[in-house]
Each structure stands twice: as C-alpha cells, then as structure tokens.
Amino acid sequence: MSSSQQAVLSVHELDCHYKGKQVLHSVSASFPPGQITVIAGRSGCGKTTLLRNALRLNEPSAGRIEVFGQDVTHLNQDELMDLRPRMGVLFQSGALIQSYTVAENVAVPLEQHTRMPLKLIERVVSRKLELVELAGSEHLMPSELSGGMRKRAALARTLALDPEIVFFDEPSAGLDPVTAAALDELIVSLSRKLNITVVIVTHELTSIKRIGDRMLFLDSGKAIFEGPLRDALKSELPPLQEFFRLSDPDQHVEESGS
C-alpha cells in the first residue's frame, strides 16, 4: 500500500531552499492511509521543512506534493482552503488562544469552516474533548492546564473537523516521560479508532518505537530510508545506526558501564 496512487500524501523529487541554502534535496516519499509514519533524522536535516512544505506553509523550489491525489503545489489559495479541513496539524507549542476557554479553542475550526448551529458545535466540542480524555475541561483557560493537558486540548481542536490526515511536529517536546508516553499512546489509539493517517516529525527514539508503523529518515536533506520501522531498526545504513545508537539512553548506560 505504498504506491503514490494509494498514498494519502506523496512527495516527488522535492527540493526546497531557505535563505539561499538548499534544505531538501530531491526528496520522494509516500505516506499510506491509516498508518503512522515518523519523519526522523538529526537536528537540521529538514524534517520540519518537509512537513511545512506538505502543508504549503513553505514553497518548494522544485518537485510536487500530492495530497488526496491533488498536486497542492499548483492549487490557489481558495482551492487550498477547500482542502485544509481534511488535514489537521499540531505544532510543538499547541498554539492555543490564551484568552479563550478550552471549549472556545476547540470550536474555532468549526466556526471558521462550517455553518453548524451553536448547540451542535457545543456537542461536537464535548465529544472531541472526551476523545482526548479532557471531558469536563470546557470552561478552563489554557493557563490552568498542565503541559500535557494543553497538548490534548490542541489535539482536540486539530480533530474538530474530522481530518483524514494529521501532522504532528515534535508532539512530546517539553513533556516529562510519563506524560509523553500517555500522549503517544493516545495518538496511536486515535489513529486506530478514527482511521487517521498520521505523519509525525520527532527525534525522540522512545516515542518513535512506541508509535511508528513506518519511518522516513532524512540525512542532510536527503531521504535515505523509507519503510517499516522494524526494517529501519535493523538497517545497516551508517546514519541510521548512528541515530539509533546515540538516541538510545539504555545503550548509553551500557556503554558507560562497560
């Protein structure tokens, strides 16, 4: 199920420049439906740039990006706006509006993209908060939430329009290990329950092993591995071996004690 015809998202020979420097070099990849694909690599390898290109927040220098079979690199703003409700995104910060309650934050996409009556919006908001295990938090302000709760509230807002594909940028950044593990488990559960295709940018090896079905590994802006996570873990490619070795805290402990 990895062909571009079947993929929810596919990237073809993508180049991207930023401030005169080439960040992505002829990157090609496919993201199958219903799977969790992790985009990984060392800091500065182009992970977030690829995600931003897929969302058309950055413009590629060459190549094309297809989402649901449409080449988004050639869509105008109105066409992009029609497509965006099918795509959800959760950035590192969560970007909750601090002056809005949790319920008001989750309602924003529904108010912007639908003509639902207020009562129906309230029911949808409550349902989305239940999905992310925040039932009863509707009237809380973002400042009253813990870091993990803020991520969950932002996730509820991301799911408000029932997107078919959701992009995450370092979802567990800034969270303690227990909270990060719970968020990972929630992402996996929601992906399976709602049949959502998930694309996650992360460098956290523990999270990668918990959540990833597949991996796209970037090295200096080039895609050097794409496939099942189990194959990535067994790969003999030196950059992958180094990434897993340096990212594995257990291996550090063993090496330091040897």
Walk along the chain (258 residues) and give the pLDDT tens digit of each residue.
434 447 899 999 999 988 888 999 999 999 999 999 999 988 878 898 999 898 888 889 999 999 998 898 888 888 888 888 899 999 777 689 999 999 999 999 999 999 999 999 999 999 999 999 999 999 999 999 998 999 999 999 999 999 999 999 988 888 899 999 999 999 999 999 999 999 999 888 899 999 999 999 999 999 999 999 999 999 999 999 999 887 665 544 344 343
Burial of 135 (0-12, 13-18, 19+ CB in 10 A): exposed
Report the side by side order of strands in the sheet with 87-90. 87-90, 165-169, 197-201, 36-40, 214-219, 222-228
Tell me the two tokens of residue 162. 């029932």
Query: Residue 171, Cα to own-chain centre: how many angstroms?
Result: 7
CA distance 137 to 4: 41
Domain ranges of the chain: 9-253
Token look-up 């992505």 returns 24
Task: Quickly count: other Cβ atoms within 10 Å of residue 214's Cβ.
Answer: 22
Which residues is 40 bridged to in the sheet?
217
Residue 28: the pLDDT is: 95
Distance (Å, rounded) from C-alpha 36 to C-alpha 229? Answer: 10
Q: Are 219 and 239 in contact (CB under 8 A)?
A: yes
First-to-last C-alpha distance (Å) of the chain: 44
How do beta strands 9-18 and 222-228 pair?
unpaired
Question: What is the structure's pLDDT at 91?
Answer: 79
DSSP string computed for 49-91: HHHHHHTTSS--SEEEEEETTEEGGG--HHHHHHHGGGEEEE-
- Select from 160, 163, 134, 138 the least CA-distant residue to 149: 134
CATH class of 9-253: alpha beta
Tokens of 35: 């799977």
* Nearest CA-CA partner of 12 in 58, 67, 52, 57: 67
Cα separation, 56 vs 95, in Å, equals: 18
Q: Nearest to residue 239, comparing CAs of 256, 224, 254?
A: 224
